[in-house]
Amino acid sequence: MKTIALLGSTGSIGRQSLEVAETLGLTVTALTANRSVELLEAQCRKFRPRLAVCMDPAAAGELKLRLADTGIRVAGGMEGLLEAAALDGTDVVLTAVMGMVGLRPTLAALELGRRVALANKETLVCAGELVMETARRCGGEVVPVDSEHSAIFQCLQGCRDRGEIRRLILTASGGPFFGKKREELEGVTVEQALRHPNWSMGAKITVDSATMMNKGLEVIEAMRLYEMPLEKISVVIHRESIIHSLVEYCDNAILAQLGSADMRLPIQYALTWPERTCGPAAPLDLLNCPPLTFAPPDEENFPCLALAKAAARTGGTATAILSGANEAAVGDFLAGKIGFGEIVRRVARAMDAVPAVQSPTLDEILAADAAARRAAGG
Ligand code: MG
């Protein structure tokens, strides 16, 4: 029997994680959200965690009133999130919060030697070396929930010598604007950017898929998670999202993981690994699949991918600057303040304006993130 603390339970991944937890009969020790009080209350009444947390202090106050009859303790803010990550009797901390907020709870869980099922890629992009070093030092585990990284993780099972790996191949759907030119993309609307062809996800990551920044962040995520140099990671456009990623070995064998576009499978594997169990993810019907196609990524018309690789090459806080600037710019785009084409320019501007620090401490990473957000703003 496994117990989980779920950080970010009201978002897309959080809701699907609870479906998996219910199917697997897991005990939920803590649930956290930003400010979706109504949904969090319903989840608490169903799963009966010991602790419920809202990041937003006003929402935490309201949740406390709503849950007054339940005996569930309510906390607020980053302190509450850290408490949820460190709650005793928890086997796995599943981190599905959006953005930089996920970093400190992830470190707190790893310091206790826990498994972190990580759906929050910004954590590894901003502070991957620190996170992996903490896991090694404290006996914690980082298991990916991101579908591409889960696919690679699955293709690496049984690999005893990392030297046998020639390259990791991340697949990318290409998003809603595949095949378009940069000029055509300048004025696309929020609604168009949120229309992902294959996956149903949160707004920030869906916009990241449309700019291809998502794949850039995933390249960095793979570098950190698998401790691979940039040259050993490739991206291939695979419009059908049936192959979720691949590993090429030195003998020219390529292993791939296939499945329906259903996040519940990678969520479940991060919880049950090294075992597999029956679960709620939809099966893949091979006989009714479209033909599988592959194409090179278009970095000229989708320059976010090239920007992410440049940040990866610079290293240090450059990837935190990239990610923080992108989070701010995407927030402004979703709020209708800037156009789609402005996102990449804002990120590039922040990368020019904020100097990168090598081998950063946690404080230096947080400072780089804050400076990047300022540099990318209005
Ligand atoms: Mg992904």
pLDDT tens digit string along 112-159?
999 999 999 999 999 999 999 999 999 999 999 999 999 999 999 999
Contact yes or no for 8/97 (Cβ under 8 A) = yes
Q: How far is the CA of 293 from the centre of ligand 1 (A)?
A: 18
Q: How far is the CA of 60 from the centre of ligand 1 (A)?
A: 31
How deeply is 336 buried, as exposed, middle or buried, from its count of CB atoms within 10 A (0-12, 13-18, 19+)?
exposed
pLDDT at 16: 97
pLDDT at 184: 94
Secondary structure of 87-146 in HEC code, one letter for each residue: CCCCCEEEECCCHHHHHHHHHHHHHCCCEEEECCHHHHHHHHHHHHHHHHHHCCEEEECC
Q: How far is the CA of 100 from the centre of ligand 1 (A)?
A: 17
Query: Taking 90 as the threshold, does the pLDDT of residue 200 lie above it?
Result: no
Dist CA 33 CA 6 (whole Å): 9
Q: How far is the CA of 288 from the centre of ligand 1 (A)?
A: 24
Q: How far is the CA of 223 from the centre of ligand 1 (A)?
A: 14
Ramachandran sector of residue 328 (left: φ over 0; alpha: ψ -120 to 50; beta: rest): alpha
pLDDT at 79: 97
Confidence at 38, pLDDT banded by 50, 70, 90: very high
Q: How far is the CA of 72 from the centre of ligand 1 (A)?
A: 34
How deeply is 79 buried, as exposed, middle or buried, from its count of CB atoms within 10 A (0-12, 13-18, 19+)?
exposed
pLDDT tens for residues 213-223? 999 999 999 99
Ligand 1 is a single-atom ion; what residues have CB below 5 A from it?
A: 146-148
Contact yes or no for 356/314 (Cβ under 8 A) = yes
Q: How far is the CA of 148 from the centre of ligand 1 (A)?
A: 5
Q: How far is the CA of 71 from the centre of ligand 1 (A)?
A: 37
Contact yes or no for 168/146 (Cβ under 8 A) = no
- The 10 Å Cβ neighbour count of residue 252 is 7
Average pLDDT of every residue of the chain? 96
Q: How far is the CA of 341 from the centre of ligand 1 (A)?
A: 22
pLDDT tens for residues 40-92? 999 999 999 999 999 999 999 999 999 999 999 999 999 999 999 999 999 99
Predicted model pTM:
0.95
Query: Taking 80 as the threshold, does the pLDDT of residue 378 lie above it?
Result: no
pLDDT tens for residues 167-195? 999 999 999 999 999 999 998 999 999 98
Q: How far is the CA of 76 from the centre of ligand 1 (A)?
A: 29
How deeply is 290 buried, as exposed, middle or buried, from its count of CB atoms within 10 A (0-12, 13-18, 19+)?
exposed
Q: How long, in residues, is the chain?
A: 378
pLDDT at 264: 98
Rg for the chain (alpha carbons), in Å? 20
Q: How far is the CA of 326 from the centre of ligand 1 (A)?
A: 16
Omega into 274 within 30° of 0, i.e. cis? yes
Q: How far is the CA of 221 from the centre of ligand 1 (A)?
A: 10
Give the chain's largest Cα–Cα span.
62
pLDDT at 377: 86
Query: Taking 90 as the threshold, does the pLDDT of residue 99 lie above it?
Result: no
Residue with tokens 């996040």: 263
Query: Taking 80 as the threshold, does the pLDDT of residue 17 lie above it?
Result: yes
pLDDT at 175: 92
Please report, as a single letter, which amino acid is at residue 46.
K
Contact yes or no for 67/48 (Cβ under 8 A) = no
Dist CA 250 CA 164 (whole Å): 5
Q: How far is the CA of 265 from the centre of ligand 1 (A)?
A: 13
pLDDT tens for residues 253-274? 999 999 999 999 999 999 999 9
Contact yes or no for 187/341 (Cβ under 8 A) = yes
Q: How far is the CA of 146 from the centre of ligand 1 (A)?
A: 5
Report the candidate in 16, 156, 155, 144 with the shortest Cα–Cα distance to residue 92: 144
Query: Taking 90 as the threshold, does the pLDDT of residue 341 lie above it?
Result: yes
Q: How far is the CA of 22 from the centre of ligand 1 (A)?
A: 24
Confidence at 198, pLDDT banded by 50, 70, 90: confident
Q: How far is the CA of 201 from the centre of ligand 1 (A)?
A: 10
H or E element, residue 13: helix 12-24
Query: Taking 90 as the threshold, does the pLDDT of residue 196 lie above it?
Result: no
Dist CA 278 CA 375 (whole Å): 47
pLDDT at 212: 97
Distances (CA, A) of 348 to 308, 310, 326, 377: 10, 10, 9, 12
pLDDT at 1: 58
Dist CA 245 CA 256 (whole Å): 6
Q: How far is the CA of 147 from the centre of ligand 1 (A)?
A: 5
Dist CA 284 CA 294 (whole Å): 19
Dist CA 115 CA 240 (whole Å): 32
Report the candidate in 142, 90, 136 with the shortest Cα–Cα distance to residue 120: 142
Query: Taking 90 as the threshold, does the pLDDT of residue 100 lie above it?
Result: no
